[in-house]
């Protein structure tokens, strides 16, 4: 924690001439961008994997017809096909999973009152009028929704809602191009149709996250989500 706190402080010092009192917030955004750059090769691999799985759909449909009366053989045949074509159904999860440690590290860093037995110096940093360690509830209690901190959150909510809308449209378009989603490995999964119906709306849950986590963690979420939408638009076109 202390090493990471020093990293954020050094980044803030470098950015201070450009962003002034909001340099630490800019450092969080820069840190998020660096994490996403490191994860980008996995995102590219996930995009290739999804396109490869889509290309296999005609063969999987043929396997379904061939093994319609034997679900076990069908599942084994689909797994063999994925193995032969070097397609992993889990590749799409890796970019998100690899970001979890960075998010929780940032969350704990700006939730802790002390680091290494000393007062946490990062809690004194702000994004305009909003403390990076504060939450939306704190902003509402200190000036209300039109106060200085409240307006910072209002701007974040507008940005997140716009990004979520774009993500919603991208997800709907992707799902429309994959009519076989309600089935997995050749077998219809109970309840999966309902899950896929909800999937396009998952992007709007980011609004809830931004509202309940410390502002620094919210900046991570907003930056990462925006990056993801741009990345998906480029990689899945």
* DSSP of 177-218: T-TTTTEETTEEPTTHHHHHHHGGGGGGGHHHHHHHS-HHHH
Tell me what pLDDT residue 187 has. 43
User: Encoding tokens for residue 56?
Assistant: 């296999």
Tell me what pLDDT residue 157 has. 96
Tell me what pLDDT residue 92 has. 67
Measured CA to CA, the distance from residue 52 to residue 6 in angstroms comes to 43
Tell me what pLDDT residue 83 has. 79
Tell me what pLDDT residue 178 has. 55
Measured CA to CA, the distance from residue 22 to residue 122 in angstroms comes to 12
Q: Residue 220, Cβ neighbours under 10 Å: how many? A: 25
pTM of the complete model: 0.81
Measured CA to CA, the distance from residue 13 to residue 16 in angstroms comes to 5
Tell me what pLDDT residue 60 has. 83
Tell me what pLDDT residue 175 has. 67
204-209, long-range: CB < 8 A, 24+ apart: 204/161, 204/164, 204/168, 206/160, 206/163, 206/164, 207/157, 207/160, 207/161, 207/164
Find where tokens 């940005």 sit: 159
Q: Indicate if the alpha-carbon torsion angle 91, 225, 189, 57 is positive or negative.
A: negative
Report residue 56: phi and psi, to 5°. Answer: -85, -5
Tell me what pLDDT residue 197 has. 55
Size (the chain), residues: 237
Rg of the chain's alpha carbons, rounded to an integer? 22
* pLDDT per residue rounded down to tens, the chain (237 residues): 788 888 899 999 999 999 999 999 999 999 999 999 999 998 988 888 877 877 887 888 888 888 888 888 888 888 887 778 777 766 667 888 889 999 999 999 999 999 888 899 899 999 999 999 999 999 999 889 999 999 999 999 999 999 999 988 888 877 665 544 334 444 444 443 444 456 567 778 999 999 999 999 999 999 999 999 999 889 877
Q: Where are the alpha helices (DSSP H) in 56-147?
A: 57-66, 71-84, 94-109, 136-141
């Amino acid at each position: 924690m202390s090493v990471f706190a020093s990293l954020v402080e050094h980044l803030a010092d470098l950015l201070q001439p450009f962003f002034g009192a909001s340099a630490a917030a800019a450092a969080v955004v820069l840190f998020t961008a660096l994490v996403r750059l490191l994860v980008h090769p996995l995102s590219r691999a996930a995009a290739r994997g999804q396109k490869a799985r889509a290309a296999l759909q005609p063969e999987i449909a043929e396997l379904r017809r061939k093994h319609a009366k034997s679900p076990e053989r069908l599942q084994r045949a689909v797994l063999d096909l994925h193995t032969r074509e070097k397609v992993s159904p889990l590749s799409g999860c890796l970019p998100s999973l690899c970001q979890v440690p960075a998010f929780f590290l940032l969350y704990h860093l700006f939730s802790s009152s002390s680091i290494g037995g000393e007062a946490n110096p990062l809690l004194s940093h702000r994004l305009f009028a909003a403390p990076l360690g504060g939450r939306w509830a704190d902003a509402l209690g200190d000036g209300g929704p039109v106060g200085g901190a409240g307006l910072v959150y209002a701007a974040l909510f507008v940005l997140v809602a716009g990004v979520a809308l774009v993500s919603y449209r991208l997800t709907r378009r992707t799902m429309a191009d994959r009519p076989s989603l309600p089935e997995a490995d050749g077998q219809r999964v109970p309840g999966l149709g309902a899950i896929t119906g909800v999937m396009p709306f998952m992007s709007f849950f980011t609004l809830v996250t931004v509202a309940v986590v410390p502002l620094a963690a919210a900046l991570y979420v907003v930056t990462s989500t925006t990056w993801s939408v741009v990345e998906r638009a480029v990689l899945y076109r």
